[in-house]
Amino acid sequence: MKLELTPQQNQARSEFKAFVDEVIVPDANRCDREEHTPPELIEKLAQQGYLGAGLPKDRGGTGMDMITYGLLNEEIGRGCSSLRSLLTVHNMVAQALFKWGNTFQKENWLPKLASGEVIAAFALSEPNVGSDAKSIETTATRSGDFYVLNGQKKWMTYGQIADVFLVFAQNDGKPSVFLVEKNRPGLTIKPIFGMLGVRGSMLAELHLHDCKIPSENLLCRQGFGFSHVASSALDYGRYSVAWGCVGIAQACLDACLQYTSQRQQFGVYLKEHQLIRQMITEMLVNVKAARLLCYQAGYLKDNGDPKSIMETSIAKYFASTTATKAANDAVQIHGGNGCSREYSVQRYWRDAKIMEIIEGSTQIQQITIAEYGYQEHLFPRNRPVMSQELMARI
């Protein structure tokens, strides 16, 4: 199969790149230092329609195909991983509502999410629950026409500024999911600072103490919170992160090509040293390989192929480890300058490490991918897609 972007996809990629270079790159290091994303930057993202990228036009979105959406994530990830994280979680919530919401929920929330009038956050992780997401401890108890939520959520990307949260809780022992507006009594939002990477993503903790929400805020059916809503949303988010990792790796490559062409040591430019060329070669090849894996996952998603779930995990695993390796080499190539905040490669290094943890850690991906390989080996004719047990690991 010859992989070739359509003219529309090529045009979109050029537009994404120009927007990132002009609007995002100049502010990226400041966002990192200040651990804050300026509201005007988010507004510009919304004005471009990027916050509604995954929604169809009749829901207020731009109706991007998955390849184009991936290209958008790569470019924004190249400029600023923190801002790309907003694109991820916001669209995860939008996709969950589009796929599993009822008519009222869709009509009420989707246009607001697509326009950026409302910012959404994904509230799944907890202090005691990470990869084993189905074991969430937050509870939801039915009380007449309301649900009462109690528990704590942690590591909520852009939780400091979100207007609505998609909160996962145990409802009579069945994982369920609820829409919780930020102004609900009993909900307290606590900012998190001092993170290693993606410092501009304005993380927060949610504390739910007898937080009362109307029964119509239940999304999908009781007990379907993880098996349906979380699994599909996390797959969508994992795809976004994979492409964002390609963006980080590309940024590292660009920085190193420029630096080694200008910096001299021992009377010659760095690029003339063989070991530098070896590092550049590995970086370039791995970036291209990671991008091709993301193309494959996006192609399968656009065609509705269920194998896209595992292909997305493979792409995320390879792209995130590639980003970490590329960033590590980029700092090494820059030497002392690579450890200075005056150079962006130190930010790429810190951000890349986060990518190996979120949306399924490297180790979880190794477990699921290897298990999938054994399933294929044992049942080659049936070509298994991905078992519920594998999907339960994030």
Residue 79 — φ and ψ, nearest 5°?
A: -85, -45
274: Cβ–Cβ under 8 A, 6 or more apart, which residues?
none
Give strand ranges (E) for the chain. Answer: 120-123, 139-143, 146-156, 164-171, 174-181, 187-191, 204-214, 218-219, 264-265, 268-269
- pLDDT-above-90 percentage for the chain: 86
pLDDT of 249 higher than 60:
yes
- Does residue 221 surpass a pLDDT of 90? no
| Sign of the torsion formed by the C-alpha atoms of 192, 196, 201 and 206 | negative
6-15, 123-132, 291-300, 338-347: the lowest-pLDDT one: 123-132
Looking at the predicted structure, is the pLDDT value of residue 393 above 70? no
pLDDT at 92: 96
Q: For position 188, what pLDDT does the model report?
A: 98
Confidence of residue 137 (pLDDT cuts 50, 70, 90): very high
| pLDDT bucket at 225, cuts 50 / 70 / 90 | confident
pLDDT of residue 220: 84
Question: What pLDDT shows up at residue 391?
Answer: 53
Please state the rounded mean pLDDT for residues 35-44. Answer: 97
Which of 94-98, 227-231, 352-356 has the lowest average pLDDT? 227-231
Question: Per-residue pLDDT averaged across 171-191, rounded?
Answer: 95
pLDDT at 258 over 80: yes
pLDDT of residue 2: 57
pLDDT of residue 385: 56
pLDDT digits (tens, 9 = 90+) for 341-390: 999 999 999 999 999 999 989 999 999 999 999 988 887 766 555 554 55
Q: How far is residue 246 from each of residues 78, 293, 326, measured CA to CA in Å?
A: 8, 10, 10
Q: For 259-263, what is the mean pLDDT?
A: 96
Q: What is the mean pLDDT of residues 182-208?
A: 97
Q: What is the pLDDT of residues 143-180, one digit of tens each?
A: 999 999 999 999 999 999 999 999 999 999 899 999 99
Q: Encoding tokens for residue 253? A: 């490559």
Output Rg (C-alpha) for the chain, integer angstroms: 21
| Stated pTM of the model | 0.94
What pLDDT, on a 0 to 100 scale, did the predictor assign at position 257?
A: 98
Phi then psi dihedrals of residue 2, to 5 deg: -85, 125
Share of the chain above pLDDT 70, in %: 96
Rounded to 5 degrees, φ, ψ at 353 are: -65, -40
Give the residue numbers annotated as catalytic, written as ranges.
359
When pLDDT is cut at 50, 70 and 90, the band that residue 223 belongs to is: confident
pLDDT-wise least confident of 111-115, 220-224, 384-388: 384-388
What is the structure's pLDDT at 376?
A: 84
Q: Mean pLDDT, to the nearest integer, of 41-70?
A: 95
Residue 130 has pLDDT above 90, yes or no: no
